[in-house]
């Protein structure tokens, strides 16, 4: 199993942020984690990455049970793309250097970089359509370009698990569709990592994300095959408003109807 969480509860002071959450992800599965702001998505991701520990319950990631393995080593096999990470990277580093920093999961490059590392970074830049701005400062890139660089950086260490935490935040519709198309190509590669795509927008759930986990107010609401989860009745209850889910060109689109 890539991720196995059993009856997870996480409390902060008097607040219960996660309550009784269980979630299992098998190798090769691609999941969408869907929930509104404040639902517990970020807390769940921080737990998968080993930055926080459950108050009760058990967590295993990539076959390693928390408490029995060095989580610093574990994180080297997890790629994480998030807005918070984007803000931590050095604006004056080139896009290429930013990608290279993914080799050791560091902010900046401090370790020895081999010719093979540079070749791999350049290959990823080309694969993701970033070669034209490889030597531009990361801070001068557009939001869409930065997100592509972050994904290339996350792939640099050949992760077994790739977490995409709301990667389309701040993108216009054209940049969003370009990024989603790129993610779809990554998911379809023979050696693709297991993907977790995090969002609160139904229309971003690509067909490659065959399974969906709904989280609401810190509790697991529904999970299973995306086609079974994303239907109008379930999603109306989930969002507490009447919605209609309509499928167009292989993707689900949500309309509020009352």
Q: Judge whether 102 lies within some domain.
A: yes
- The SS3 of residue 8 is strand
Closest to 197 measured CA to CA, from 226, 222, 175: 226
Give the H or E element holding residue 200: none
Domain containing residue 105? 85-158
Q: Which residues of the chain have pLDDT under 50?
A: none
Side-chain half-sphere exposure of 121, counting CA atoms within 13 A: 24
Q: Is residue 37 part of a domain?
A: no
**In the prediction, which pLDDT does 18 show?**
96
**pLDDT at residue 258 in the model:** 66
Asked whether residue 129 is domain-assigned, the answer is yes
Mean pLDDT of the chain: 91
Answer whether residue 16 is part of any domain. Answer: no
pLDDT at 116: 87
* d(C-alpha 192, C-alpha 185), whole Å: 9
Q: What is the pLDDT of residue 111?
A: 66
Q: What is the pLDDT of residue 43?
A: 92
Judge whether 239 lies within some domain: no
The confidence score (pLDDT) of residue 90 equals 80
Digit-coded pLDDT (tens) for 154-183: 998 899 999 999 999 888 999 999 999 999
For residue 133, is it within any domain? yes
Any domain includes 115: yes
Q: Please report the pLDDT score of residue 117 as a whole number.
A: 86
Question: Is there a domain that residue 255 lies in?
Answer: no
> Structurally, how many domains does the chain consist of?
1
């Amino acid at each position: 199993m890539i991720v196995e969480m059993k009856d997870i509860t996480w409390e902060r002071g008097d607040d219960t942020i996660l309550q009784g959450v269980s979630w299992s992800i098998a190798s090769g599965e691609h999941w969408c984690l869907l929930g509104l702001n404040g639902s517990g998505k970020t807390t769940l991701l921080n737990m998968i990455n080993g930055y926080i520990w459950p108050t009760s319950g058990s967590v295993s990631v990539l076959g390693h049970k928390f408490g029995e393995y060095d989580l610093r080593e574990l994180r080297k096999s997890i790629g994480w793309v998030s807005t918070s990470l984007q803000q931590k990277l050095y604006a004056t580093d080139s896009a290429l250097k930013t990608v290279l920093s993914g080799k050791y999961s560091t902010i900046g490059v401090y370790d020895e970089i081999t010719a093979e590392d540079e070749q791999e970074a350049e290959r990823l830049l080309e694969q993701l359509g970033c070669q034209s701005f490889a030597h531009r400062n990361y801070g001068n890139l557009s939001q869409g370009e930065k997100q592509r660089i972050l994904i290339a950086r996350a792939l640099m260490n050949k992760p077994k698990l790739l977490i995409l935490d709301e990667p389309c935040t701040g993108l216009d519709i054209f940049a969003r569709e370009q990024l989603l198309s790129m993610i779809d190509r990554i998911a379809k590669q023979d050696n693709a990592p297991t993907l977790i795509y995090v969002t609160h927008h139904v229309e971003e759930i690509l067909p490659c994300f065959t399974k969906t986990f709904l989280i609401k107010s810190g509790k697991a609401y529904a999970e299973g095959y995306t086609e079974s989860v994303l239907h109008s009745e379930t999603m109306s209850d989930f969002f507490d408003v009447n919605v209609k889910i309509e499928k167009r060109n292989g993707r689900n689109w949500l309309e509020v109807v009352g």
